[in-house]
Chain A
Amino acid sequence: MMQLFDILASAGLWAAILRIATPLIFGTLGALVCERAGVLNLGIEGIMTIGAMIGWLSVYHGADLWTGLLIAAMVGGVFGLLHAGLTVSLGLSQHVSGLGVTLFASSFSYYVFRLIVPLASTPPTIVPFQPIAIPGLSTLPFVGPALFTQTAPTYLAIAIALLMAYIIFRTPVGLAIRMAGENPHAAEAQGVNPMKVRYGAVVAGSALMGMGGAFLTLSAFNSFFPTMVQGRGWICIALVVFASWRPGRALFGALLFAFFDAFQLRLQTALSGLVPYQLFLMTPYILSIAALAVMARRARVPQALMQPYRRGER
């Protein structure tokens, strides 16, 4: 019991929560904006992988960290464009297209990585984003070191969550996105082109996914290795349902999830040898499944999610 309390009271835990949450925040927001516009994007796992790889590669070849993040976003957007082309223009199954994008993007990432780093036992590293202590706030006791000494992309992720909540619920663009996901026919009647809106949402959402992946190599770790995304993309898809398609709740969900993840990591060290470590590693995935089961029925799914829109066809 004392051990549990010690874990919970350490500032390190709370700092880790924000760090673990960051890629999930990016990914969940990315998936959320796609789904709000009516497109399920299962390409996320692969898009995060290529974001991680391309971000690392750019910095490794001399780009600065922000440029690396930007390039990851752009490449993510390109893969989003591919997914949008298949699902929005051609109206193909969003499930299968998304899986195809994931398989392609991740194997492509591994291929390019291996071309550049043929057979190194230790992968080459870069200098990652350093924690920024926010003046004034970071010196607060406990809260300071926990919340206000993160790397820049973490602050960016939180800002994007708030911005996205504003855009979706308070601006005409947000209204168009929601209409494309709820009732594209009505959107068309209102003079909104649902195809264009869906393209825009999928590309923008995929760019966010790419940034989420890049966070892993540019901020959390300092190198790329295959399978580093480790199912985070799928967890983001689950978190979107948990968040009931609302950006604010997505932020909360990612933090809650990261809390359990950071907690199990520390519990694992505390209880090492007593309980198989695999049981702890399972918890994030089981939690995601449980979150889906609890939230799925209550959540309000965008009505036209996964329905291809073709003009004049119903």
Chain B
Amino acid sequence: MRFERREHRPLYLLVLTPLLAVVAALALSGILIAIAGAPVFEAYWRILTGAFGSRLSATETLTRATPLMLTGLAAAVAFRARLWNIGAEGQFYLGAIAVAAASAKLFGTLPAPALIPLLLLVGAVAGMVLILIPLWLRLRFSVDEVVTSLLMNFVALLFVSMLIDGVLKDPLAFGWPQSQSVSDHAMLPKLVARSRLHIGLAIAIALAIIVHFIQSRTVFGMQSRAAGLNPAGAVFAGVQLGRTLVKVACLSGGLAGLAGAIEVMGVKGYVTTDLSPGFGYSGIVVAMLANLNPLGVVFAAIFTAMMFVGADGMSRGLGIPTYIADVTVALSLLTMLIALFFTQYRIRR
């Protein structure tokens, strides 16, 4: 058996593969659910209704999908240019803590129309700064950025923990390590009344469209793609690789930092060290499920959020550990990888 590169990729294949990958991942996690002694179809039904069955659960799912869209976009733009930014988790936290700090110490008294955009910018810049360290190490010392950006996650989380134990600690939190709250008028407006769903969802979707436009219609988008497809060829064609990568990194880190900022300003209002249940890492899966397509990221994020939100209810009802959601999402990444392979190759005997 050997593999042969496909000359062209039929459209139906590109649409079907992510769906098939998800179905395969669900089937595989179904085995684990069955081993745990629970009815598989009922489990999945409960996940679906738990995530979309009511107004409350649907808004919860979309609230959860919002940061995933942004971290997913962060991974997608970077991976496109073959910049392996695995540090979205750290960038998320740095964006979040920057917002808390800026609101508590600097701009808290500004009126909302000035404050909100300013804080969002602060969060994005914080994320950019963090990714520029691994990028600098790559360009200057040729250190693979995968490991450095990953290790930065641990450093960033400890840094946040230090701040909320120290200078940014909320004196009113009964000794809990929790940052001071952002001022009330820094909170993002709600999208649906009597729910946690906030305007961040609209921002995330708008950014997905903008990123899609940047990637498909601008010179920078083309250069970043060329840098990913064939770095040597891109340099030969006159793309300044270093400069392109810096721009890509800023975009990627900025999106991840913005995710943290929006999560603070949209949902919690303050920072704790469990603000993110792995949004940065799940963002990688979201990006891969979307095949690095910015518009696909929106749907992949909703699917991933559905698994996480739905699994909570399923877990309570059937006694299956909620980690089944993480298992399914991770398996989707693996099955998606295999599925993508078959869009590019066919089997030849």
Contacts and interface: CB of A to CB of B under 8 A. Distances in A.
B281 interface: yes
B341 to A, nearest CB: 5
B321 A282 contact: no
Interface stretch (A98-106, A134-142, A182-190): A98-106
Contacts of B158: 278-279, 281-282, 285
Given A107-B329, A231-B151, A292-B147, 12 more contacts: A100-B334, A103-B330, A110-B323, A110-B326, A111-B324, A114-B321, A234-B151, A235-B151, A241-B147, A286-B151, A292-B144, A292-B148
A237 interface: yes
A278 B337 CA distance: 37
Contact of B143 (A82, A235, A296): A296
B13 interface: no
Interface string A297-314: 100000000000011000
Interface stretch (A16-24, A88-96, A149-157, A198-206): A88-96
A107 B28 CA distance: 14
8 nearest CB pairs, A to B: A107-B326, A114-B321, A103-B330, A278-B162, A104-B330, A111-B323, A278-B158, A100-B333
A108 B158 CA distance: 26
Contacts of B331: 104
B159 A278 contact: yes
Interface in A213-239: 230-231, 234-235, 237-238
Most B CB contacts (10 A, CB to CB) among A90, A231, A286, A311 go to: A90
B338 interface: yes
B241 interface: no
Most A CB contacts (10 A, CB to CB) among B141, B159, B288 go to: B141
Interface of A: 42, 82, 86, 90, 92-93, 95-97, 99-101, 103-104, 107-108, 110-111, 114-115, 118, 230-231, 234-235, 237-238, 241, 276, 278-279, 281-282, 285-286, 288-289, 292-293, 296-297, 310-311
Interface string B139-174: 001111011101110110011011001100000000
A293 B137 contact: yes
B313 to A, nearest CB: 16
B323 A288 contact: no
Contacts of A114: 321-323
Contact of A293 (B143, B150, B340): B143
A108 to B, nearest CB: 6
Nearest to B341: A90
Given A86-B334, A114-B321, A289 B281 contact: no
Given A107-B330, A288-B147, A279 B337 contact: no
Nearest to A286: B155
Nearest to A288: B151
Nearest to A240: B147
B285 interface: yes
Given A238-B151, A292-B147, A293-B143, A111 B327 contact: yes
Contacts of B147: 234, 237-238, 241, 288, 292
A95 B32 contact: no
Most A CB contacts (10 A, CB to CB) among B137, B151, B329, B333 go to: B151
B235 to A, nearest CB: 19
B84 interface: yes
Contacts of A111: 32, 321, 323-324, 326-327
B143 A292 contact: yes
Given A288-B147, A289-B148, A296-B143, A108 B155 contact: no
A289 B137 contact: yes
Given A107-B330, A282-B154, A95 B162 contact: no
A304 B293 CA distance: 29
13 contacts: A82-B334, A90-B338, A95-B146, A97-B334, A99-B86, A100-B330, A101-B334, A103-B329, A111-B32, A234-B147, A285-B151, A285-B158, A292-B141
A278 B161 contact: yes
Nearest to A313: B5
Contacts of B319: 118
Nearest to A281: B158
A118 B318 CA distance: 12
Contacts of B333: 96, 99-100, 103-104
Nearest to B327: A107
B157 to A, nearest CB: 9
Given A97-B337, A103-B326, A276 B165 contact: yes
A115 B36 CA distance: 7
Contacts of B329: 103, 107
B337 A86 contact: yes
Given A104-B331, A289-B148, A276 B162 contact: yes
Given A99-B86, A282-B154, A292 B341 contact: no
Contacts of B154: 230-231, 282, 285
A104 B326 CA distance: 8
A297 B337 contact: no
B262 interface: no
B274 to A, nearest CB: 12
B162 A279 contact: yes
Contacts of B288: 96, 100
B187 interface: no
Contacts of A292: 137, 141, 143-144, 147-148
